[in-house]
Chain A
């Protein structure tokens, strides 16, 4: 019988949109390698920003703003297993869902800036929580 790792979100969490508004340059300056860069394929600005990171990161296009396929196809497992440096140029729903989902497995630091009406630029550094066994009766 196994126990799943306990769910508890990290500290920098739900109130970020209203309390943390670093500038775009502050978010991107000093950053080198990113494990993944997420960009919303629908928006030219997102594609351009993501392209600048193509050499050092794995680019992942977000279709229709939906996190479900990316999370289900590996990101879930990856966030449980290793620290990650993530960057995104996405809409609200993507980073909202991501921080709720990541918070179940990892502590994280999220920095967020609004680019325009649709898009947010964000960085997230995650550290997996200690895993416990999942109980299964």
Chain B
């Protein structure tokens, strides 16, 4: 199989780079030929098989080896595509935007450098997964909880850098990061915040240090390679009480969100709870054909059958209470009384759920930081496995929620898919994540999905809704929607890129940020 070369890089120069990488990391840790297949996007969207294909991969074991690799890449002008563990499958996996790039695979850097129970933090390398840290904490009997996203095999560092979210009170992962070690494109190592002071012992305790707070420029970016990161961990609470509240009608979302906002702002709702749609929850444990054999989205009659079978609603609010019983009792009273105003609402605790498997029993694990892979069940809804996330952000208002729901669900259903979405509740915003499941094996369905996705982005942008995260195929598309004041933000990104990585070797095209020599449309 012939791997592509990046534009402007000869086969001889690439071979030179790979040879020098082998000297740095050892021959076993440079991958080419058939081994590169594992860095392909398993759910690639375009039908062109040459898009997003890596030429090779290199897997360093240490910060020093990363330094050596970027120095060689800089000298030979060979593009690297950095991945922590490469498990970001709804957003491209380990695949690079620029075909022919060498994947800088950090999964070998899997040291848990420190777990501090007293202050509640861990310092980890990018190869550490949620499964790894969870196991480590359990084995050592520490009274700490992780916050996990839905797939437990992902990188703690990678997820925070990509602005991922989880479902405990520590659900905003980038908010909970504290202190980074970063290798810059010139090979220099920087420690951010208090880590910049020799002998300081608050690197993972205080985020800001002295001077500009720079950690943010290394998230969703291509300005450096993060090789260590601090992450705050939640002390095990004195009590834990997960709950499920179901609502029978799609239009209930407007009232639900109006009720949620003040409860969340005042921390009565303590965690990053989610309002999940019928199909998203049903798809975890059932397939579409078990209920419906027709074409297109499920009709209302089938939706009602699913609701009855699985004891779920058109919307399902999964939350949890954390703390000693007198506290959680008081919080629950406020939550229950607030939602009781919605006709047809039902309230459940785990002991009320008899069916197995069950959505609340499953989510109860996730909301206490137990890493799992259960959510991949939605891949089976249509049977073909493909999925992509469309993730605009809106204010936590009922008006915005119903407007977004109608915009997105209307288009998704018009294109023949089922609406499968959730609204994840931040402090003041909703992440409206719609998972579009499609048949990966059908080229026409992939084309249809691509048309739909581009339409969704345009229509959302026209209403002022921006995506917070996206698949590699849409990074330029999304970046272009953040265009206020003649693209001033992108111009600033490009200024930073040119200053920190003048040869453009780090992840070109990440988040729509291109090095100077690849700008203005000449990108492949």
A63 at the interface (CB under 8 A from B): yes
A91 at the interface (CB under 8 A from B): yes
Q: Is the CB of A17 within 8 A of B379?
A: no
A34-72 vs B, Cβ < 8 Å mask (1 yes, 0 no): 000000001000000000000000000001111110010
Residue of A12, A18, A117 ringed by the most chain B CB atoms within 10 A: A117
Given A8-B59, A65-B377, residue A96 in contact with residue B385 (CB < 8 A): yes
The CA-CA distance from A63 to B31 in the complex, in Å, is 36
What is the minimal beta-carbon distance from A90 to any residue of chain B, in angstroms?
9
B284 at the interface (CB under 8 A from A): yes
A10 at the interface (CB under 8 A from B): yes
Which B residues from 304 to 319 make CB contacts under 8 A with A? none
Q: Is the CB of B110 within 8 A of A135?
A: yes
What is the minimal beta-carbon distance from B442 to any residue of chain A, in angstroms?
10
Q: Is the CB of B110 within 8 A of A134?
A: yes
Which A residues from 81 to 137 make CB contacts under 8 A with B? 91-93, 96-97, 100-101, 103, 114, 117-118, 134-137
Residues of B within 8 A of A135 (CB): 110-111
**Smallest Cβ-Cβ distance to B114: which chain A residue:** A137
Interface residues of A toward B: which range? 35 or more
Residues of A within 8 A of B377 (CB): 64-66, 91, 93
Q: Is the CB of A8 within 8 A of B357?
A: no
Pick from B59, B284, B441: contact of A6, CB under 8 Å: B59
Q: Is the CB of A64 within 8 A of B441?
A: no
B339-377 vs A, Cβ < 8 Å mask (1 yes, 0 no): 000000000000000001100000000000000111011
A78 at the interface (CB under 8 A from B): no
- Grouping DSSP codes into helix (H, G, I), strand (E, B) and loop, the A interface class, with mixed when no group exceeds half, is loop
Q: Is the CB of A13 within 8 A of B376?
A: no
B328 at the interface (CB under 8 A from A): no
The CA-CA distance from A86 to B113 in the complex, in Å, is 36
**Smallest Cβ-Cβ distance to B374: which chain A residue:** A66
What is the minimal beta-carbon distance from B412 to any residue of chain A, in angstroms?
20
Residues of B within 8 A of A71 (CB): 373
Which B residues from 87 to 113 make CB contacts under 8 A with A? 87, 93, 105, 107-108, 110-113
Q: Is the CB of B380 within 8 A of A93?
A: yes
The CA-CA distance from A18 to B93 in the complex, in Å, is 17
Q: Is the CB of B112 within 8 A of A68?
A: no
B33-54 vs A, Cβ < 8 Å mask (1 yes, 0 no): 0110110111000000000000
The CA-CA distance from A130 to B14 in the complex, in Å, is 28
B477 at the interface (CB under 8 A from A): no
B153 at the interface (CB under 8 A from A): yes
What is the minimal beta-carbon distance from B155 to any residue of chain A, in angstroms?
10
B482 at the interface (CB under 8 A from A): no
The CA-CA distance from A11 to B384 in the complex, in Å, is 22
Pick from A15, A42, A118: contact of B383, CB under 8 Å: A118
- The segment from B188-196, B217-225, B285-293 that touches chain A is B285-293
**Smallest Cβ-Cβ distance to A11: which chain B residue:** B34
**Smallest Cβ-Cβ distance to B286: which chain A residue:** A42
Residues of A within 8 A of B59 (CB): 6, 8
Residue of B31, B153, B285, B380 ringed by the most chain A CB atoms within 10 A: B380
Q: Is the CB of A137 within 8 A of B111?
A: yes
Q: Is the CB of B380 within 8 A of A92?
A: yes
The CA-CA distance from A93 to B379 in the complex, in Å, is 6
The CA-CA distance from A97 to B131 in the complex, in Å, is 14
Q: Is the CB of A100 within 8 A of B37?
A: no
Which A residues from 1 to 15 make CB contacts under 8 A with B? 3-4, 6-15
Residues of B within 8 A of A6 (CB): 29, 59, 107-108
Q: Is the CB of A96 within 8 A of B112?
A: no
Q: Is the CB of A8 within 8 A of B111?
A: no
Q: Is the CB of B373 within 8 A of A91?
A: no
Q: Is the CB of B112 within 8 A of A117?
A: no
B230 at the interface (CB under 8 A from A): no
Residues of B within 8 A of A11 (CB): 34-35, 37-38
Q: Is the CB of A8 within 8 A of B31?
A: yes
Q: Is the CB of B284 within 8 A of A64?
A: yes
B132 at the interface (CB under 8 A from A): yes
Q: Is the CB of B383 within 8 A of A7?
A: no
Q: Is the CB of A96 within 8 A of B379?
A: yes
The CA-CA distance from A135 to B384 in the complex, in Å, is 39
Q: Is the CB of A13 within 8 A of B37?
A: yes
Q: Is the CB of B379 within 8 A of A68?
A: no
B381-412 vs A, Cβ < 8 Å mask (1 yes, 0 no): 01111000000000000000000000000000
What is the minimal beta-carbon distance from A37 to any residue of chain B, in angstroms?
19
The CA-CA distance from A124 to B407 in the complex, in Å, is 43
Q: Is the CB of B289 within 8 A of A17?
A: no
Pick from A7, A13, A18, A64: contact of B285, CB under 8 Å: A64
The CA-CA distance from A66 to B372 in the complex, in Å, is 9
Q: Is the CB of A97 within 8 A of B373?
A: yes
The CA-CA distance from A95 to B312 in the complex, in Å, is 27
The CA-CA distance from A4 to B378 in the complex, in Å, is 31
- Residues on B lying within 8 angstroms of A by beta carbon are 29, 31, 34-35, 37-38, 40-42, 59, 85, 87, 93, 105, 107-108, 110-114, 127, 132, 136, 152-153, 284-287, 289-290, 356-357, 372-374, 376-380, 382-385, 440-441
**Interchain Cβ contacts under 8 Å between A and B, 7 examples:** A6-B107, A7-B127, A13-B40, A64-B357, A71-B373, A92-B384, A97-B373
New A-B pairs, 12, CB < 8 Å, besides A13-B37, A135-B110: A6-B59, A7-B107, A7-B127, A8-B59, A14-B42, A65-B380, A67-B373, A91-B377, A93-B378, A100-B87, A118-B287, A137-B113
